[in-house]
Amino acid sequence: MARKFLSFLGTTDYQACTYKYGPSEDLKWFTKYIQEALLRIFCSDWTKEDTAVIFVTDKAEKLNWYNEDDENRRLKTIMEELNINVKAVSIPEGKTEDEIWQIFHIVTNEIEDDDEVIFDITHSFRSIPMLALVVLNYAKVVKNAKLLGIYYGAFEPNNDSAVIFDLTPLNDILEWSQAVHVFLDYGLSGPLKDISTRQLKHHLRSEQWARDTRQFVDSLNNLTMCLYTCRGKAITGKGTARKSISSAVEIAKENFGRTKGIDEENQLKPLLPLMEKIEKRLEIFKGNDNLSIGIAAIQWYIENNLIEQAYTALDETIKTYACIKFGLDDADYNNREEIVQKALKIRELSVPEEKWIVKDQYRHKVKELVEKLDDELVVLSSKIGSKRNDINHFGFNDNASNYTDLESNIYECFNRFLDYIYSN
């Protein structure tokens, strides 16, 4: 692991000026090369273990890296005065698609595993600024690289000073966008939790918007973990956000509401449209009773291809519906397992009453359900139970299904269940 400064050198005979970052008088440097200014300002503690990589075309190398005819156009000489490792790397001009790919591979190869990177795009040309973001995000995935900053020196002709802009927040917004996309399309909150931990930690102590955002993301993570682990029973009270989908939904919605009350200039403002996409995604969780939560969870699972969880939720939600239909407390375990489940199994297998294995206190109610249960619900319960059992036995059943059958079957059974309950 090392720190890398990556920059592109152009061919212009640059005008010397004072490059300045922020209001501090200490963060400025007079030079004709933005590379020197950035290294002096942001990399003053770097050592020979760290490297400045300057990408140069053939023309840029001759004119500005080491101009043999003009000693004032020798960035190489200036860089060698710094206490870091320095190297120039040749790149094509990027005039064709093939050359753009060459630049991509050349720049990527200069980033090693776990490197921490500063990118200067001041003198980037054509597609390089966009390519820089692509390279950085590619390197973050493939090489676990860390971004320290993206900078741009806004030089204006005939001006003796230039402002250095920190463009790192643009990459932050890109990361948030990617994390929200993963959540919306796949139901995964891990990337959101990771980015909130990394990007908000410096603001938590002093900024309320950061605390509100972090709290919302944490509550969203509680919700997805409750969904992954099938915490379908509707319960409320302190400490229930990790035990109940319904509780986690309510807390997530409450926490999101706090993020909306921000000032116009607040740093969270660019993220709000992304967060509102998440809020809209949670609209499927409308009710907080066991049946509504069960139906919403099944829909969530199917939409996010969580097949095992979908079977579990539908199997249990059929029991919930049967409890409600026959006046039983759907949150009571004995009602669900000793009455509804046994009645469904007895009807499925046509077990004669003398062979029922039923506790005496539940026999009367089991008999009532055996007589009144609709064939459609019994068949549906049997089919779902069989597939759930197949999954839970890790595919070691003699008649194990292939995954495409499991996937298509859950779609069909869920739609049949919805048609059944809404028509009865």
* Token couple for 160: 């003796």
Residues in the chain predicted with pLDDT less than 50, given as ranges, are 264
| Distance (Å, whole) CA 35 – CA 88 | 12
| Distance (Å, whole) CA 266 – CA 143 | 33
* Token couple for 423: 């028509």
DSSP-derived secondary structure letter, 82: S
Contact of 172 with 150, CB cutoff 8 Å: no
pLDDT number for residue 363: 95
Give the pLDDT confidence of 338-390 residue by residue, as tens digits. Answer: 999 999 999 999 999 999 999 999 999 999 999 999 999 999 999 999 999 99
| Distance (Å, whole) CA 316 – CA 323 | 11
- Does the domain spanning 3-166 belong to CATH 2.60.40.1180? no
Give the pLDDT confidence of 181-222 residue by residue, as tens digits. Answer: 999 999 999 999 999 998 888 888 888 888 888 999 999 999
DSSP symbols for 374-415: -HHHHHHHHHHHHHHHHHHTTT-STTPPPHHHHHHHHHHHHH
> Diameter of the chain by CA atoms?
107
Between the two ends of the chain, the Cα-to-Cα distance in Å is: 64
Is 61 exposed, middle or buried (CB count within 10 Å of its CB: 0-12, 13-18, 19+)? buried
| Distance (Å, whole) CA 336 – CA 381 | 13
pLDDT number for residue 263: 53
DSSP-derived secondary structure letter, 237: S
pLDDT number for residue 261: 64
Q: How many CA atoms lie within 13 A of 129 on its CB side?
A: 13
Residue 290, C-beta contacts closer than 8 angstroms, at least 6 positions apart: 232, 233, 234, 317, 320, 330, 331
pLDDT number for residue 61: 95
- Angstrom CA distances, 9 to 13, 60, 66, 154, 221, stand at 11, 6, 11, 15, 44
- Residue count (the chain): 424
CA dihedral sign of residues 73, 79, 81, 86: negative
Contact of 250 with 296, CB cutoff 8 Å: no
| Distance (Å, whole) CA 75 – CA 255 | 52
